[in-house]
Amino acid sequence: MRIEEYSPQWQTKLSAMADTILGAGFFEKPSQIDRDSESCVFVAIDDDGEVAGFVRGRLLPKNGLQDFLEHKVDDIPEDLEDADAKGVLGVIQTVAVAPGQQGQGLGTKLLQVIHDTIIGRGADKLIVSFKRGHRASHVDRLMAKLGFDFWLTLETYWKQRCDLGEFVCIDRGASCTCEALLYRKKVF
């Protein structure tokens, strides 16, 4: 198993894995998975050349936190507001591991790689978002192990895209039931 920076050769396999694990249409435009200059994506490749997992994150632009949170949070902690204003707030947006690879530490390795990369790009505070539906993993212990504290739950984080049919979550029933769990970490 190796972890490497995303390149377009992995686009089809990464997009297919995201559709299977996270829901159809997860990447609105798969051809733009890593087009944002601030974005970083890493893929885990197994010995057979298959994508076993991926992680995606970025350093937010100055004052970009409310856009990232879709303007759904009014009470932002002071340290996050300060990091946001200075442009030193990093976000880990997506961590996904293929079902056959789960429970073997691959998600932790992917998180550590993106964590170190975003800090290397200048982040001194980090936020991680996880989707919680009935099939989502429980991440509280992992986040604590990596030095993150639970921050908040957003009940409607993906709801609008899901309800419009732009993204079809694997946990969706008659309506969107997923939540986003947000964890935060003070690096410096």
pLDDT of 28 strictly over 90: no
Secondary structure element (H or E) that encloses residue 23, with its range: strand 23-24
Residues contacting 16, CB < 8 A, separation 6+: none
Q: For 36-73, how does the pLDDT look when each residue is reduced to its tens digit (9 = 90+)?
A: 667 899 999 999 999 999 999 999 999 999 988 888 88
Hey, what domains does the chain have and what are their CATH numbers?
2-186 (3.40.630.30)
Six token digits for residue 81: 């507001």
Q: For 131-186, how does the pLDDT look when each residue is reduced to its tens digit (9 = 90+)?
A: 765 544 567 788 888 899 999 887 765 566 666 666 566 655 666 566 778 889 99
* Residue 90 and residue 123 in contact, taking contact as beta carbons nearer than 8 Å: yes
* Residue 163 and residue 175 in contact, taking contact as beta carbons nearer than 8 Å: yes
Distances (CA, A) of 71 to 41, 67, 154: 25, 6, 11
pLDDT score of 80: 94
Q: For 102-120, how does the pLDDT look when each residue is reduced to its tens digit (9 = 90+)?
A: 888 999 999 999 999 999 9
Burial of 67 (0-12, 13-18, 19+ CB in 10 A): exposed
